[in-house]
Amino acid sequence: MDDIYVVGVGMTPFGKFLGKSVKDLAADAVNAARVIVALGRYGVQARHLRVVRAAVEREISLIEQVVAPTLRQRSHQAREQAGQTAREIAALTMRVHGALVEAALAEAGFPGGGLAAPPAGYGASAGGNVGGASA
């Protein structure tokens, strides 16, 4: 397995991810780096992932629009509900994304059915972390 170095994690206790610990942020960064390394083995470079990032940002925008009315309530319970709803919608959009990719591959004439499993050590673990790292 390749060595992965994460620079800058834990430098500030504030920012966009107030609900995550430094350990959680580090695990997320390592998991993303592992997937990027795995994609690199197929010739995919980080610069090619801009389209993926743009798609994620559009999906998040959709989710934010759906949960915005709940968030306006400003109670702790409303925030918890909005978070749960956002994660459920995200899971559903990921399933739709996978189905659409599979359909597009079939339409393009690529043989086989179902998306292939990622290389060993780079897939989603039982805990939901890509690459099997745990926080």
Torsion region of 15: left, alpha or beta (phi above 0 gives left; psi -120 to 50 gives alpha): left
pLDDT score at 32:
87
Instruction: For residue range 62-94, list pLDDT tens digits in order.
Output: 999 999 999 999 899 999 999 999 999 999 999
Global confidence as pTM: 0.67
pLDDT score at 46:
81
Instruction: Report CA torsion sign: 69, 61, 83, 12.
Output: negative
The residue among 92, 112, 93 whose CA lies nearest residue 102 is 112
The residue among 100, 16, 94, 102 whose CA lies nearest residue 56 is 94
Instruction: For residue range 109-130, list pLDDT tens digits in order.
Output: 988 877 777 766 655 443 344 3
Mean pLDDT of 25-38: 87
Contact 22, 45 (CB under 8 A): no
Is residue 8 very low, low, confident or very high in pLDDT (cuts 50, 70, 90)? low
The C-alpha atoms of residue 118 and residue 125 are separated, in whole angstroms, by 11
Mean pLDDT of 103-110: 92
- Phi then psi for residue 54, to 5 deg, are -65, -40
Is residue 6 very low, low, confident or very high in pLDDT (cuts 50, 70, 90)? low
Asked whether the predicted pLDDT for residue 57 surpasses 70, the reply is: yes
The residue among 42, 35, 41 whose CA lies nearest residue 4 is 35
